[in-house]
Amino acid sequence: MAQLYPFTDPRAADQTPPITIASGDGCWVTDVHGTRYMDAVAGLWCTALGWSNRELIDAAQAQMQQLPYYHSFKGRSIDVTDQLATKLAQITPEGIERFFFGCSGSEAVDIAVKIARFYQNGRGKTDKKQIISRHGAYHGSLTTSAGLTGLAYAHGGFDLPWPIRVGRPHYHGEAHSGESEAQFTQRLVDELEATITDHGTDTIAAMIGEPVMGAGGVIIPPAGYWAGVQEVLKAHDILLIADEVICGFGRTGSWFGCNTYGIAPQMMTMAKQLTSAYAPLSAVGIHADMYEVIADFGHQHGTFGHGLTYGGHPVSCAVALKAIEIYERMDVEATVQARGAHLAKRLERFKTMNSVGNVRSKGLIAAVELDPASGLTGAMVGAEAEKRGVFFRIIGDTIAMSPPLIVSDDEIDHFTDVLEDSIQAAG
Q: Give contact residues for ligand PLP (rule: CB under 6 A).
A: 44, 104-106, 109, 138-141, 210, 214-215, 243, 245-246, 271
φ and ψ at 362, to 5 degrees?
-145, 115
Q: Rounded to an integer, what distance in angstroms lies between the CA atom of residue 194 and that of residue 198?
A: 6
Closest distance to ligand PLP from the beta carbon of 249 (Å): 13
What's the closest the beta carbon of residue 145 comes to ligand PLP, in angstroms? Answer: 6
For residue 388, the minimal CB distance to ligand PLP (Å) is 25
Q: Which among 269, 134, 137 has a CA at the least distance from the CA of 195? A: 134
Q: Cβ 274 to ligand PLP, closest distance in Å?
A: 10
Please list the alpha-helical segments (H only) found in 123-248: 143-148, 171-174, 181-199, 225-235
DSSP letter, residue 371:
P
Assess contact for 50 and 57: CB atoms under 8 A.
no
Q: What's the rounded Cα separation, in Å, for the pair 53 and 344?
A: 26
The residue (of 189 and 213) whose beta carbon lies closer to ligand PLP is 213
- Which residue number has the CB closest to ligand PLP? 105
**Please, what is the minimum distance in Å from the beta carbon of residue 216 to ligand PLP?**
9
Q: Which is nearer to ligand PLP, 136 or 214 (CB)?
A: 214
Q: Are 138 and 348 in contact (CB under 8 A)?
A: no
CB of 107 to ligand PLP, least distance (A): 7
Nearer to ligand PLP, 110 or 384 (CB): 110
Minimum distance of ligand PLP from residue 279's CB (angstroms):
12
**Which CB sits closer to ligand PLP, 211 or 357?**
211
- Say if strands 130-134 and 36-39 run parallel, antiparallel, or are unpaired: unpaired
Taking the C-alpha atoms of residue 141 and residue 134, their distance in angstroms, rounded to an integer, is 16
Identify which of residues 283 and 418 has a Cβ nearer to ligand PLP in the complex. 283
217: closest CA among 356, 394, 43, 341? 394
Residue 97 or 244: the one with the smaller Cβ distance to ligand PLP is 244
Report the distance separating Cα 290 and Cα 339, nearest Å: 37
The nearer residue to ligand PLP, 122 or 250, going by C-beta atoms, is: 250
Whether 273 and 300 have beta carbons less than 8 Å apart is answered as no
**Residue among 365 and 426 whose Cβ is closer to ligand PLP:** 365
Q: How far is the CB of 6 from ligand PLP (least distance, A)?
A: 9
CA 46 to chain centre: 9
Please choose, from the candidates 26, 48, 40, 76, the residue with its C-alpha nearest in 3D space to the C-alpha of residue 270: 48
Cα–Cα distance for residue pair 328/113, rounded to 1 Å: 31
- Cβ-Cβ contacts under 8 Å for 373 (sequence gap 6 or more): none
Smallest distance from ligand PLP to CB 290, Å: 20
Q: Closer to ligand PLP at the Cβ: 109 or 290?
A: 109
DSSP code of 213? B
